[in-house]
Structure 1
Amino acid sequence: MRRQATRSSAIFTVLGAGLSMGMLAPAHAEEVASEDPIVVTARGRPEAQIAVPDTVTVFTQDDIVRRKLTTIDEFVAATPGVFMINDQDPGTNMITVRGVSTNRNQSPSIAYVVDGLALADSELFTLRTYDVARVEILKGPQGALFGRSASGGAVNIATNDPSDVAGGMASLGMGNGFTWTADGVVNAPVSDRVQLRLAGSYRNSDGFIRNSYLDRKVDGFISRNLRLKANIATSETSTLKLRIGWANEEGGAAYISSENVTGRNDGRLSGAILTDPQGDFEGRASREWWGAQATFEQELGDALMLTWSGGYDSYHKDFVEELDFRHDTPVTLGGVPLFPNGIQPISQPVDIEAWTSELRLTSQGAGPLRWHAGFFFQRLERDRTDDFGPLLFGAEPQRAETRSNQIGLFAQASYDMLPSFEATLGLRYDRDRRKEDTVGTDTATIYARRAKTFDKWQPKISLAWHPTQDFTAYVTGSVGFKAGGFNPLPGASDIWTANFAAETVKSLEAGVKGRLADGRVRLALAGFVTDYSNFQNTVFLGNSVVLSVPKVDVHGLEASAQAELGLGFRLDGAAAWTHSRVGRYTTPNPTPEPGEPATIDLTGNRTPNAPDWTLNGGIGWQGDAGPAKVDARLSVAYVSRVDFEIDNILHTPGYASVDGRVGVDLGPWSLEVWAKNLFDKRWAISAFGQQQLPLLLGLGPDGPFDSFTINSGRQFGVGATHRF
């Protein structure tokens, strides 16, 4: 209790230290919003970033171009306090925000919203981003607005809408790895009431990671993407917005290396131990998605806006790999030569269908009371087959057929109690009815049938002080939760339970935001304390199972700054310190050896995929060079030690990466040269350890082994864009 009080008092000391920045004349909260050029929709309506009582990282369209951000991984890497792993195939990913982490094959811990509608499954999070207007990353529980699966935060993406100006752009690029890119946009106003926008993106690469045994690159890919949007003014007070999207991707997958990192390097994934892949089976993945969305907006007089959005997503992924990641044959398990040709092929196809709908009523105008209320529904059908090939020893593969029906009721109101003091109260109720059937793929035998309902009230309260239009101090308390789920049915000797509980996250945040020197300098500082219950930790014990950790203690500090230095120079930097540690927790030993204890104490361990420190910094210059406009930027990102599993054995030490870009505008033409990971640093981006995975512990010959994936190394290229 005393330690918790000390953390809270430290946060409020940080808050109080910043108040002197705002001891000027009071300003109405709406006036704050009217002055800041950076506008966000973090609370369901357009507002100034500086006025929002949350930590919100914003990437504008200019930021996206200058930093060469093309995937969600790159947006996350540029956001301190957030960490992401893209693992084994394009759809499997884990995002950690302030220590709150997604687990494999279950509900995400972060809401991912595109054009106002939440995506239903984390498989959809890594679809390529293109023709993007703005990306907002909100940290901390956002359940009151975004509902279930926003326990860590939210990513809010707005793609460019059609406009009444005809034109577009075409872009071509090439880079190392024999990489070719093409992007295009056509904006076509059909009439005064109808505008269309067609956007497309194409990527083709031979890859960057070479398999030393197969003697070829194994991470090549092709990505094809199209999106058509339409804005239709159905009356003077109503608008219909339509969006249809399609994506098709194929390429290498599970390019995983194998080495005894635990035995030879004490689990440290660095230096010569980071060998290239050497398996004799090339993993492959392909996926296809298409989706449609309709949004109808109706003004109800001058005071209200009624909005309805509905969307449909259809997704299929094929994924095949090996599980020994070696070329020695026969492969032994516990010294027995069980697999003459290796452990291959292993297949895990996924099918998803989702229907999403939201109805919202929002107040309009600049009065002291601003509010919205609404209803949300989402139906998710997800089928995943686990065909473990030789590991089944003749048994039929099984398919997990998961069905989820989520409803949400929400409301939020902000009121200016004084001209410079705003109070916000939000509340949402989510009910997620889940059921899962485990079905044999050959005989249709039902091996298990389970159902469970997870529900939660998620409040949020914020107090914000705007003494001037250039300063905000705030305190925010919020709650989020993530639904529980179903493990494979345990046998008599298994250590997991058939079901696992929902996660709950309760957080208190205090912060200050300010602008100085007529807006040329922006500063932000925030501290937070988080109570994280029932962390869903994934362990591979024959299959992926969740072992719930009752308590995780999280607290941290974040700071950011941007400054226009004059003469065209701009400096920006941000740092996040997140202390995420397992509370008192003992668990059965997943890989007990003779003489080892049957249970292990993990109290105080770092949580997986949650580095203590993440930092970003960059310097840019914009200016004229004769008839050309030059935009140059050099940036660096640092990530401290990352532990990939809860036992804290297999880990990558801290690493830094330097990126750079120089762009030149010549009228309608733009040229660029760019590089990522300029100094070709090498690190592991994911790993599975032998002390957590019995298969790896018993694998041979010459085992045991750990498995890990290395980063792609240096990438560089050139590009040209023509606007018309």
Structure 2
Amino acid sequence: MRKQRATGTAFFTVLGTGLALGFCGLDATAAHADEADDGREIVVTARGRPEAEIAVPDTVAVFTQDDIVRRRLNTIDDFIAATPGIFMIHDQDPGTNLISVRGVSTNRNQSPSIAYIVDGLALADSELFTLRTYDVARVEILKGPQGALFGRSASGGAIDMVTNDPTDTWGGMASAGIGNGFTWTADGVVNAPVSDKVQLRLAGSYRNSDGFIRNSYLDKKVDGQISRNLRLKANVELSETTLLKLRAGWANEEGGAAYISSGNVTGLYGGRLSGEALTDPQGDFEGRASRKWWGLQATLEQELGDALSLSWTGGYDDYHKNFVEELDFRHDTPITLGGVPLFPDGIQPISQPVDIHAWTSEIRLTSKDPGPLRWHAGFFFQRLERDRTDDFGPLLFGAEAQRAETRSNQIGVFAQASYDLLPTLEATVAMRYDRDRRKEDTVGTESAQNYARRAQTFDKWQPKLSLAWHPSDAFTAYVTGAVGFKSGGFNPLPGASDIWTANFAAETTKSLEAGVKGRLADGRVRLSLAGFVTDYKNFQNTVFLGNSVVLSVPKVDVHGIEASAEADLGLGFRFDGGMAWTHSRVGRYMTPNPTPEPGEPDILDMSGKRTPNAPDWTLNGGLGWQGTAGAATIDARLSVAYVSRVDFEIDNILHSPGYTSVDGRVGVDLGDWGFDIWAKNLFDKRWAISAFGQQQLPLLLGLGPNGPFDSFTINTGRQFGVSATRRF
């Protein structure tokens, strides 16, 4: 039996500007959508070679290009929201985000817990994760430790995104849309084969929105944004066996930021962020953010006879973000701290600019023989330069602001081999060694004084072992064990009374997963079920104590179950759904009380608490229909998503109760034209997407007048719109 195989939890996807990509009709990836619909194999490439998704010994959820249109998935936020077992917080400013996979969260301003790879290169910093996605061919999201192939930031999983390459066909598309919040979008693609050996592809995306969240004091919307994006790709055939790929990208964004609400949710509502507690922002200072990015990449693919292929890819990223906000999120003046009127004009402005320069390179040698032994090996290098200034304005009381200048040099050596022990039994062994040398200087922004210089090396061997049983092409049972790690790092310099340490340790994960997946009814029904157990050592819990700091939790225990189903119901109807139950709890953990008050203990017992930003339950389901009416093709879909209680901090006080959202879309394809009407969060449900509580943040506990306060960010509510697309 000949099988096609893939790398880890592949989440085969096509991202982009929703309808625009769906009607583009230029890309080879459209074939994958057809394969999914007619019962043939869905092909993924996560293990370094094309192979059938069903044969992959990991949990796999697949979005085809057809799914992108039906679900109108435009950003990485959308894809994560549609994926059980993954949860994302994207707040404060365009670059700040936290992604939780199976109970483990990304850190603010530190190494992420999930690797993000774009066109074969790992993004160096989570600030780059939320750059707008468009004209994308596929994304594979791998859950669980993936360090064996993707390195030190893959302790929770990996996202592998591939943008569309140029093709040998002239053509393109243009799309325009309008939605509530006076939101305008425009997207375009031009594919230009210059010659038999040179092809070009230019893609762009534009979005301009007045926003959806109104500040009740300023009486204006404060979350508006403009996003401008361009990408040029070129494929150059140097010979029959050598292909050179070039990519240049640019992004420029600006808009509102830190539209944060404030209220005594802990005291009045027991920390429950729902109903009357979800007030609009009321601060007297409008937060703003802007960011610019550009990047270059080159990839060389060389065939070495019939047995081997060699690939090298290298790239550079240049990123700058300006971010300014207030920290009291009130319009009362003067602002008091501990009853003392210290801030006559409020705690503003607070500025936190970030600059990033990153060089990344990887070389890989892969076997081409489809026989019983398949392997690849490679070497990885990444240099990251990251400067972040924390200018806390009035809170500095005349002292100068400090800048953290972080430098990281990471090298990785990796190899993977799969071997058919029997015609129906495959074993896969992978190993990677990562070494991350980090140093950080804390420098005065005015005096250039070096307040501290710290350096540390983090390294880890990360093995992975899988056994997969394939009694037929329509069934796989597997068991996979893996180790992952995330580098430690440097906290802001602690003062004499601060509870955090200057440095924090690396985080290590060990996971065991077992699952089954199969196809029934000639491929019209697809099912998967998996269970997992994960142990975390030195879980890096991000806490906001005047600044984002990491407090290491010695142990976190996680176990859970995930399931998914897809079914062609006939008569044009199709169902898809998924669920994940993740039980993520802190082991024995005693920590200093960050806000001790008279009569309260100095040490808190957080043992057994839920880990932050890790809901126990996430569920998704959708029903779609495709049919024709004369010359028109109609595509309609209604989907539902549920997220259970989300605790925003490790004390489990400030939390969002479970919530449900409903999305809908109707599309009409008429020749070269496509039309679309859509809505997200159809019933306008409101919930908190992030929060900081007074029991964890001394500033909020002592803030007045009329304090103490908690701070939180609400979601945007209902969004809807229409768009039209023209192919040419």
Q: TM-score, normalised by structure 1?
A: 0.96
What SS does the aligned partner of 1:242 have?
Answer: strand
Q: In the aligned structure 2, how far is the partner of 1:61 from the partner of 1:349?
A: 37
Counterpart AA for 1:580: S
Report the count of equivalent residues: 698
Q: Provide the residue aligned with 2:619 in structure 1.
A: 615
**Aligned pairs (5 A) from 1:387-398:** 387-398=391-402
Q: Which amino acid aligns with 1:415?
A: Y
Alignment of 1:366-377 (within 5 A): 366-377=370-381
2:282 corresponds to 1:281? no
Distance 2:52 2:522 in 1: 16
The reply to whether residue 624 of structure 1 matches residue 628 of structure 2 is: yes
Residue 3 of structure 2 contacts residue 52 of structure 2 at CA under 8 Å; is this kept in 1? Answer: no
The residue that corresponds to 1:703 in the other structure is 707
Distance in 2 between residues matched to 1:114 and 1:573, nearest whole Å: 27
SS in structure 1 at match of 2:155: coil
State the partner residue of 1:354: 358
1:141 partnered with 2:158: no
Aligned to 2:3: 29
The aligned residue for residue 674 of structure 1 is 678
Q: Quote the residue 2:551 is aligned against.
A: 547
Q: How far apart, in 2, do the equivalents of 1:136 and 1:525 lie? A: 18
Deviation of residue 36 (structure 1)?
4.6
| Counterpart Cα distance in 2 of 1:248 and 1:79 | 28
Aligned to 1:650: 654
Q: What's the secondary structure of 1:341's corresponding residue?
A: coil
**Hey, what's the Cα distance between the residues in 1 that align with 2:63 and 2:132?**
16
In 2, distance between residues paired with 1:344 and 1:58?
Answer: 46
Q: How far apart in 1 are the matches of 2:53 and 2:562?
A: 16
2:499 is aligned with 1:525: no
Distance of 1:679 and 1:86 partners within structure 2: 22
The one-letter code sitting in structure 2 at the alignment partner of 1:716 is F
RMSD of the alignment, in Å? 1.1
Task: Give matches, 1:5-44, under 5 Å.
Answer: 27-30=1-4, 36-44=40-48
Conservation of the 8 A alpha-carbon contact between 2:333 and 2:344: yes
Alpha carbons 1:58, 1:134 under 8 Å: kept: no
Instruction: Give the corresponding residue for 2:105.
Output: 101
Provide the rounded CA distance (Å) in 1 between the counterparts of 2:547 and 2:663.
Answer: 38
Secondary structure of 1:75's aligned partner = helix
**Displacement after TM superposition at 1:30 (Å):** 4.3
Structure 2 residue aligned with 1:129: 133
Q: Which of 196, 200, 207 pairs up with 1:192? A: 196
1:489 aligns with 2:493: yes
Aligned match of 1:180: 184
Residue 518 of structure 1 aligns to a residue whose secondary structure is helix
Deviations 1:298-329 (A, max 9, x none): 00000100000001000000000000000000
SS at match of 1:497: coil
| Alpha-carbon distance change, 288 to 622 in structure 1, aligned in 2, over 3 angstroms | same
Q: 2:160 aligns with which of 133, 156, 162?
A: 156
2:642 to 628, 638, 641: 638
- Matched position secondary structure for 2:327: coil
Superimposed CA distance per residue, residues 636-665 of structure 1 (whole angstroms, 9 cap, x where no aligned partner): 000000000000000000000000000000
Alignment correspondent of 2:299: 295
Equivalent runs, 1:128-527 vs 2, <5 Å: 128-527=132-531
Query: Residues 102-160 of structure 1: CA distance to partner in whole angstroms, max 9, x if unpaired?
Result: 11110000000111111000000000010111121110000000001000001111111
Aligned residues of 1:32 and 1:468 also touching (Cα < 8 A)? no
Q: Which of structure 1's runs of 4+ aligned residues deviate more than 4 A?
A: 30-36
Instruction: Quote the Cα distance in structure 1 between the aligned partners of 2:147 and 2:350.
Output: 37
The answer on whether the counterparts of 1:36 and 1:48 sit within 8 Å (CA) in structure 2 is no
Q: Secondary structure at the match of 1:76?
A: helix
The partner residue of 2:538 within 534, 544, 558 is 534
C-alpha displacement of 1:39:
1.3
Retained in 1: the 8 A contact 2:5–2:51?
A: no
Q: State the alpha-carbon separation in 1 of the partners of residues 349 and 495 from structure 2.
A: 26
Tell me the distance in 2 between the aligned counterparts of 1:214 and 1:296.
54
2:719 matched to 1:715?
yes
The CA distance in 2 between the partners of 1:88 and 1:29, in whole Å, is: 46
Equivalent position SS for 1:326: coil
Mapped to 1, the partners of 2:565 and 2:616 lie a distance apart of 20
**1:19 paired residue number:** none
Distance in structure 1 (CA, Å) of the matches to 2:261 and 2:319: 29
Deviations along 1:561-617, one digit per CA (max 9) or x if unpaired, are 000011110000000000000000000000000110000000000000000000000
Query: Secondary structure in 1 aligned to 2:523?
Result: coil
Kindly state the Cα deviation for residue 32 of structure 1 after the two structures are TM-superposed. Answer: 11
Measured in 2, the distance between the counterparts of 1:261 and 1:69 equals 33
User: Aligned partners of 2:5 and 2:678: how far apart in 1?
Assistant: 40
Alpha-carbon distance between aligned partners in 2 of 1:30 and 1:701, rounded to the nearest angstrom: 65
* Alpha-carbon offset, residue 37 of structure 1: 2.9
CA 1:713–1:32: 2 relative to 1, 3 Å: closer
Cα shift at 1:541 = 2.1
Q: What one-letter code is carried by the residue in structure 1 that aligns with 2:255?
A: G
Query: Share of identical aligned residues, percent?
Result: 84
Give the unaligned 5+ runs of structure 1.
1-26
Provide the secondary structure at the position in 2 that maps to 1:443. coil
Give the corresponding residue for 2:590.
Answer: 586
Q: 1:332 & 1:31 partners in 2: Cα distance?
A: 62
Whether the aligned pair in 1 keeps the contact of 2:5 and 2:52 (CA below 8 Å) is no
Query: Residues of 1 paired with 2:300 and 2:571: CA distance?
Result: 46
How far is 1:46 from its partner?
Answer: 1.4
More moved, 404-413 vs 538-547: 538-547
Residue 261 of structure 1 aligns with an amino acid whose one-letter code is: V
> What amino acid maps onto 1:253 in structure 2?
A
1:9 alignment partner in structure 2: none
The Cα of 1:687 is off from its aligned counterpart by: 0.2
Conserved 8 A contact 1:29-1:416: no
Q: Does the 8 Å CA contact 1:36/1:50 hold for their aligned counterparts?
A: no
Name the SS for the 1:148 alignment partner. Answer: coil
Whole-Å Cα distance in 1 between the matches of residues 159 and 132 of structure 2?
14
In structure 1, how many angstroms separate the alpha carbons of the residues matched to 2:3 and 2:75?
35
Q: Is the 8 A contact 1:611 1:641 kept in 2?
A: yes
TM-score for both structures, normalised by structure 2: 0.95
* 62-71 or 29-38, larger mean C-alpha shift: 29-38
C-alpha distance in structure 2 between counterparts of 1:668 and 1:28, whole Å: 39
CA distance in 2, matches of 1:191, 1:381: 39
Report the residue type matching 1:490 in the other structure: P
Distance 2:389 2:352 in 1: 5
- CA contact under 8 A between 1:225 and 1:246: conserved in structure 2? yes
In the aligned structure 2, how far is the partner of 1:188 from the partner of 1:37?
A: 30
Matches within 5 A, 1:68-83: 68-83=72-87
**DSSP-derived class of the 1:54 partner:** coil
